[in-house]
Amino acid sequence: MPKEFKVEIDGRGLRVAIVSARFNEVITRQLTTGAVETLERHGVKDEDISVAWVPGAFELPVVAKAFAESGQYDAVICLGAVIRGETDHYQMVANQAAGGVGAVGRETGVPTIFGVLTTENMDQALNRSGGKSGHLGNAAAVTAIETALLIRSIKAS
Ligand code: INI
């Protein structure tokens, strides 16, 4: 029988940092509020959640890395909204954010969650931040708890 690592989504005792981008703030406020509410609903204490705002999604990785390297957090959640415009700036910001957030997790060993919407337009972003297509902030919070607990359980085995 293989040994299976499986965790319940129970955030009690976890410390979580959230880095949110101000760009497209109408969306990222929603993502941030949803993430905080979801963490607390799953038992993370209010005083164990830190939130830092950065100008745009491009700045998420460097601040996420500071949180991850501080040794004070079990997971870091990065939240942003990159909405396609007229130029390829969109593509560059989206790629840098995704690659950078992924690298922080791999380099530090602290789960660093990619809660960045990349959409064609504002309507799609609204739908995915609490509208008819779900809530990426809530999903990112659950992912943070699950991944942090999984790593903890692997280390303890
Ligand atoms: N930042 C975003 O978070 N979303 C965007 O859609 C966006 N666009 O399209 O330009 C964006 N640009 C700003 C970028 O993240 C940096 O803050 C800026 O380039 C300074 O480094």
Task: Give CA–CA dist 99/107, Å, rounded.
Answer: 12
User: Looking at the domain assignment, is residue 106 inside a domain?
Assistant: yes
Annotated active-site residue in 89, 99, 134, 153: 89
Task: Give CA–CA dist 24/32, Å, rounded.
Answer: 12
Give how many domains the chain has, as a whole number: 1
CATH no. for residue 116? Answer: 3.40.50.960
For residue 86, what pLDDT band results from cuts at 50, 70 and 90?
low
- The answer to whether the CB of 120 falls within 8 A of the CB of 84 is yes
Atom of ligand 1 nearest to the CA of 82: 6
Rounded to the nearest integer, the mean pLDDT of the chain is 96
Mean pLDDT of the region 5-31? 97
Predicted local confidence at residue 88, as pLDDT: 76
Long-range contacts of 86-95 (CB under 8 A, 24+ apart): 90/118, 93/56, 93/57, 93/58, 94/57, 94/118
Q: Which residue is closest in CA terms to ligand 1's atom 7? A: 82
Q: Which domain holds residue 125?
A: 16-156
User: Looking at the domain assignment, is residue 79 inside a domain?
Assistant: yes
User: Looking at the domain assignment, is residue 74 inside a domain?
Assistant: yes
Q: How many CB atoms lie within 10 A of CB 125?
A: 24
Which helix (H) or strand (E) segment is 118 a member of?
Answer: strand 112-119
Tens digit of each residue's pLDDT (9 = 90 or more) over 113-141: 999 999 999 999 999 999 889 999 999 99
User: Looking at the domain assignment, is residue 101 inside a domain?
Assistant: yes
